[in-house]
Amino acid sequence: MGGDLSRRDMMIGAGAATAVGLIGGLRGADAFAAAAQEGARGLYMHKLPPLSYPADALEPVIDKKTVEIHHGKHFAAYVTGLNATIEKLQKAREGGDFSAIKALSRDLAFHGSGVVLHWIYFETIGPGAGGAPGGKVGEQINKDFGSFEIFWKQFAAASKAVEASGWGVLAWEPFSKTLVVMQAEKHQNLTSWGVMPIMVCDVWEHAYYLKYQNRRDEYVDNFLKIINWKKVDELFRKFCLKG
Ligand code: MN
């Protein structure tokens, strides 16, 4: 019996470690330092990474108020939600009570994905950006999509067509070593296991509604002007090309 319990504990602990390990990896990359702190009992607790540019730096594509609320309230809420979930999972392990595991597993996926995607979103957009990608990621886009223009048509179409709240995602698929364009519903649905997102377009209404209202297409078209491809290339080289 005791053996069963400890094995189950280890299995769940490993699952949480896998999901959180990605973020630990992000923290380790100096240029993309997502601030974190050690919580009680050595748990990895997340902190909201500061914006690396002023809130009005994305205007006119995204207005200052939207950036302030999106980063300071929505992104912050996912960080809080993820930390609360991590603590609840630890309490469940300590108490041997996994009666809430279904909801906790769902929260780990939702808030964990929300933290990762918002971190990539705010890190890979910025002022003085836009245009076409160079570097390794530019080469890979040409290889896997034929050209940047074809890639962007697919990415924009995918982002515009997300049902309800979600994301357009450019991700590295490590098994085939190719870039893929995906959609995410909410934050965690429609992914393919193992992919690493490197550029994302948030199409939840909170990302654009103050300025664009129902005109999501216009927001996505303008989003191209604020993608910082140097940051995307940095992310691609650090997390996708290593090894
Ligand atoms: Mn968002």
Domain co-membership, 101 together with 173? no
Q: What is the rounded distance in angstroms from the CA atom of residue 52 to the CA atom of residue 69?
A: 16
Domain co-membership, 20 together with 100? yes
Distance 23 CA to ligand 1 centre (A): 17
Domain co-membership, 84 together with 114? yes
Distance 179 CA to ligand 1 centre (A): 23
Place of tokens 């957009």: 125
Is 28's pLDDT higher than 80?
Answer: no
Distance 67 CA to ligand 1 centre (A): 10
CATH at 218: 3.55.40.20
130 belongs to a structural domain:
no
Query: By percentage, how much of the chain surpasses pLDDT 90?
Result: 81
Instruction: Give the domain extent around 158.
Output: 135-239
CB 140 within 8 A of CB 232: no
Contacts of 75 by beta carbon, 8 Å cutoff, 6+ apart? 48, 114, 115, 118, 119, 122
Distance 1 CA to ligand 1 centre (A): 44
Please give the model's pTM, rounded to 2 decimal places: 0.85
Distance 69 CA to ligand 1 centre (A): 10
Number of domains in the chain: 2
Is 210's pLDDT higher than 90?
Answer: yes
Helix (H, G, I), strand (E, B) or coil at 58: coil
Secondary structure of 220-243 in the HEC alphabet? HHHHHHHECHHHHHHHHHHHCCCC
**pLDDT band per the 50, 70, 90 thresholds, residue 42:** confident
Residue 108 sits at the vertex; the CA angle it makes with 107 and 114, to the nearest 5 degrees, is 85
Domain co-membership, 103 together with 158? no
CB 121 within 8 A of CB 32: no
Distance 205 CA to ligand 1 centre (A): 8
Domain co-membership, 85 together with 149? no
Tens-digit pLDDT profile for residues 219-228: 999 999 999 9
Domain co-membership, 51 together with 161? no
Q: What is the rounded distance in angstroms from the CA atom of residue 137 to the CA atom of residue 179?
A: 9
Domain co-membership, 139 together with 229? yes
Domain co-membership, 84 together with 158? no
Distance 101 CA to ligand 1 centre (A): 26
Distance 223 CA to ligand 1 centre (A): 14
Tens-digit pLDDT profile for residues 168-205: 999 999 999 999 999 999 999 999 999 999 999 999 99
CA distances from 44 to 18, 41, 189, 239 (A): 12, 9, 24, 20
**pLDDT band per the 50, 70, 90 thresholds, residue 5:** very low
Distance 70 CA to ligand 1 centre (A): 6
Domain co-membership, 175 together with 220? yes
Q: CB count, 10 Å around CB of 11? A: 9
Mean pLDDT of 153-158: 98
Domain co-membership, 79 together with 191? no
Q: What is the rounded distance in angstroms from the CA atom of residue 80 to the CA atom of residue 86?
A: 10
CATH at 106: 1.10.287.990
